[in-house]
Amino acid sequence: MKKPKVINRYCPFCKKHYEHKIVQSKKKAASSLTYGSKHRARKRGRARGTGNLGRYSKPAVTKFKMTGKKATKKLDLRFECKNCKKSHVQKAGIRTKRLELI
């Protein structure tokens, strides 16, 4: 997919339409200190007390084969306003194999 490097968009900070620079951001490693990570660990029985916890008493299965995997990932585009230099994220991700900024 080809997209221009500069696009005219609405800036939520300036509350007007201005030119925005498109930047594709890379995914960072997930943090182990987030609420969801701690919650999952607790549910698996790692951070819980003793006792029969059913399916959470066993350690998590780390080796499994994903079936029905999608061929593309959703892009994470950031738009930087040329007026106020603040950036905001796109609302919905576009599914594409490769992005080319022209």
- pTM of the entire structure? 0.63
pLDDT bin (cut points 50, 70, 90) of residue 82 is: very high
pLDDT number for residue 19: 97
3-state secondary structure of 46: coil
pLDDT digits (tens, 9 = 90+) for 44-80: 765 555 566 666 666 767 777 778 888 898 888 999 9
Nearest to 88 by CA among 79, 97, 96: 79
What CATH number is attached to the domain comprising 7? 3.10.450.80
Alpha carbon distance 97, 87 (integer Å): 24
Range of the domain at 69: 2-101
